[in-house]
Amino acid sequence: MAIIWLKLKTFNKNNMKKLLVICGLLFSVVTFANAQQGGQGGPGRRMQATPEERVKQLDEKIKLTDEQKTKATEVYTAAAAEQKKMMEEMQAGGDRSGMREKMMKMTADTDTKINAFLTEDQKKAYKTWQDEVKAAREKMMKERQQGGGGTK
Can you give the residue ranges of every domain in the chain? 51-122
Query: Residues near 52 by Cβ (< 8 Å), separated by ≥ 6?
Result: 73
Query: Residues near 128 by Cβ (< 8 Å), separated by ≥ 6?
Result: none
Tens of pLDDT, residue by residue over 28-76, are 666 666 555 544 444 444 567 899 999 999 999 999 999 999 999 999 9
- Long-range CB contacts (< 8 A, 24+ apart) of 124-128? 125/61, 125/62, 126/58, 126/61, 126/62
pTM over 0.75: no
Tens of pLDDT, residue by residue over 95-149, are 777 788 888 899 899 999 999 999 999 999 999 999 998 899 889 888 888 875 5
Rounded-to-integer distance, Cα 151 and Cα 44, Å: 12
